[in-house]
Structure 1
């Protein structure tokens, strides 16, 4: 569903109390770094929302071509989720057509290495029991993943990719959190990573952010309204966990289609807008246009973050 219908569906959900946000800034805000060369340069492309019809495919190709033309060499790409337009209520043929667009793009850029994070729109919800790839299974198959959360290391940095989207207690779709099995896995994974190895955590939905407060008319009722589908409802618990691991340097996300860098307890929370901008419309979404993020990671555990329009 688009952002407008999502707002309508969640309009009456309230947030009883909010904690203090120490710093919310533009995407130019980054920790102080030493002036040396990064050991890793990654591109964060989130919310591509590809579908048949040409506009989205041409747009993603334009984005990739600009990165090839204008950016320094990229070590790898992180897809932040919502790669296809929407799978939730679609039939098999419509889902296949959307994924076929991505396969065609990927085939023409074999030099690009992608790590994938699942988004809420990547999940197939209208799936009879006899379907071989229900729910998240189709997206996992497309990305060659065994499960929707995992970790990997590149040049001394560790990356943890989380699965943000889960059914609500009443069985409806969706709320942002970690399920119990994933939470236990995350705690063990953080313990196993050497304390001197810096960590980046990837999620589709922001773990913490200011932009969910600013998306649409969230104060029209007289109270700030941040639905659990816009920011992790287990944010406080995750923040307390992260506080025990000082080598966590950044958390990156998408989902909101807005750009933000926020610092809280020495961790930078970056939200990377959307490749599709305002779902491939010409006008920006809430003043934010189509774009991608470039993140440079340094040996000393610092990083820079930059959002670039295309």
Structure 2
């Protein structure tokens, strides 16, 4: 799992966004998030992040994205559901479909997945749970 956007990847993204232009709405998808408030909400407002929680150079990528019409960033890895609006971009952390390994809800977030409906240059999203009850083993 990559916790850093290497120069080759960064240049590919920059070139792809440049071809897309600054008007067309864009959605970016990645595994490890650029931003999250999970640690601050669940642990402590000034808690230090663990290595691998976020993309290490995410600020550089966010700065690049801010030059384009990036309306949505879909991210995962943390097994929680978050919606963070920063500037013109919405960052959605999409929970997890693999709840079985944590035997049910993780930090109060049930297993599930995000559904995004896109129409024109707008989108709506919802988190869909499976609705199962985890078996608790001792």
Q: TM-score range by the shorter chain?
A: 0.7 to 0.9
Asked if 1:257 is matched to 2:79, the reply is: yes
SS in 2 for 1:279: helix
TM-score (norm 2): 0.85
Find the partner of 1:227 among 47, 50, 66.
50
Structure 1 residue 183 displacement after superposition? 0.8
Find the partner of 1:206 among 22, 27, 33.
33
Number of residue pairs matched by the alignment: 130
In structure 2, the partner of 1:276 is 98
Asked if 1:308 is matched to 2:131, the reply is: no
For residues 157-184 of structure 1, give each alpha carbon's deviation from its aligned partner in whole angstroms, at most 9, with x where no partner exists.
Answer: xxxxxxxx1xxxxxxxxxx220111111
For residues 42-101 of structure 1, give each alpha carbon's deviation from its aligned partner in whole angstroms, at most 9, with x where no partner exists.
Answer: xxxxxxxxxxxxxxxxxxxxxxxxxxxxxxxxxxxxxxxxxxxxxxxxxxxxxxxxxxxx
SS in 1 for 2:99: coil
Q: More strand by proportion, 1 or 2?
A: 2
In structure 1, the partner of 2:135 is none
Higher relative contact order (CA 8 A, sep 6+): 1
Contiguous gaps of at least 5 residues in structure 1? 1-119, 121-164, 166-175
In structure 1, the partner of 2:11 is 184
Find the partner of 1:295 among 89, 92, 116.
116
For residues 169-228 of structure 1, give each alpha carbon's deviation from its aligned partner in whole angstroms, at most 9, with x where no partner exists.
Answer: xxxxxxx2201111111111110113332111001011112124345x4x4xx9511124
TM-score (norm 1): 0.40
Superposed CA RMSD: 1.8
For residues 114-162 of structure 1, give each alpha carbon's deviation from its aligned partner in whole angstroms, at most 9, with x where no partner exists.
Answer: xxxxxx3xxxxxxxxxxxxxxxxxxxxxxxxxxxxxxxxxxxxxxxxxx
Q: Could you say if the C-alpha distance between residues 235 and 254 of structure 1 is closer, same or farther in structure 2, counting changes exceeding 3 Å?
A: same
- Report runs of 4+ in structure 1 exceeding 3 Å deviation: 212-215
SS in 2 for 1:270: strand
Cα distance in 2 for partners of 1:198, 1:189 equals 13
Contiguous gaps of at least 5 residues in structure 2? 131-138
Cα distance in 2 for partners of 1:240, 1:204 equals 19
